[in-house]
Amino acid sequence: MKKRIVVALGGNAILTTDASAKAQQEALVHTAHYLADFIEAGHELIISHGNGPQVGNLLLQQQLGATEKNPAMPLDTAVAMTQGSIGYWLENALVDELKKRDITKNAATILTQVVVSASDPAFQAPSKPIGPFLSEEEMLEEKKQTTATYVEDAGRGFRKVVPSPNPIDIVEYPVIQQLVENGIITIAGGGGGIPVIIKDGVYHGVEAVIDKDFASEKIAALVHADMLVILTGVDHVSINFNQPNQAELNKVTVAEMEHYIQQNQFAPGSMLPKVQAAIAFIKENTTGKAVITSLENIKNLLEEETGTIITA
């Protein structure tokens, strides 16, 4: 039976150790090979994606080339720029993959604005890492040229952190819904969306990065998706991770996942926001399903419903 599915890709699924356009396009060709299974199975598809590595690199490039007459663009504009570039690559990769399967489909990228609250406490406590990992020496050199905040991240080095407010609304969701209803593969909410606040009835971009899983959940709820699929590096969410009694979660309920959250089973900044986004989607659409799994497990998800599947 045809389902409307929102798939959330991580920015690291696009960017490898090689930050060149060619390498990212090649990574997306690999990604499109798996995503095309949703289309071949007859489903409607909306794709969102992260952009943390890409927007961070873009900001660094702009910073290095900025002059008084040619200043660097602000963060909200950089998010829009990476929405466009990643969407362009992903559109072409998907359409080309589908042609190999004798499937004719159009794809479109929607520059997506996401409304946040100007009073969100996140603006007082930057926490969202963006950009590349830096050594301590590189970080200290960067701090000489910027007022940005840097933190040590997962033992892999230092990264810039920016505010990460919660999404309230998706400005373009009616357009996204119209596109998918007309059979067009829609790429939306890239990088968590362009963060905007409403002031005097007008949208204003702000310096922030919205978590792409929370933005994807908001899109999925607003367009009445049947399923939200959050892709990560593992086939299943696990409890007691990296311990002798580690156990994979298969079919679980919202209540069970909330219980595991209370036990601090999921790492903040890693698996926890994915689980929280999945729970939020089910609470807004009690007949839907949320799935957390890997890109490589998509075929098994479609054929055997394997992965961590969360229902009401």
Known catalytic residue at 274? yes
Q: Point out the catalytic residue in the list 52, 160, 190, 212.
A: 212
Known catalytic residue at 193? no
Known catalytic residue at 251? no
Q: Point out the catalytic residue in the list 12, 92, 166, 300.
A: 12
Q: Point out the catalytic residue in the list 11, 56, 131, 192.
A: 11
Known catalytic residue at 189? no
Known catalytic residue at 289? no
d(CA 239, CA 264): 9
List all residues 6 or more positions away from 85 whose beta carbon is below 8 Å from its beta carbon.
21, 54
d(CA 256, CA 274): 15
- The C-alpha angle with vertex 294 and arms to 41 and 84, in degrees rounded to 5, equals 80
Q: Point out the catalytic residue in the list 10, 56, 128, 191.
A: 128
Q: Looking at the chain, which runs of residues are DSSP E strands?
A: 4-9, 44-49, 107-110, 113-115, 128-134, 149-152, 158-162, 169-170, 185-188, 194-199, 202-205, 227-232, 238-239, 247-248, 251-253, 289-294, 308-311
Q: Point out the catalytic residue in the list 51, 57, 193, 274.
A: 274
Residue with structure tokens 């961590």?
A: 308
d(CA 181, CA 45): 10
**Which residues have a catalytic role annotated?**
11-12, 128, 212, 274
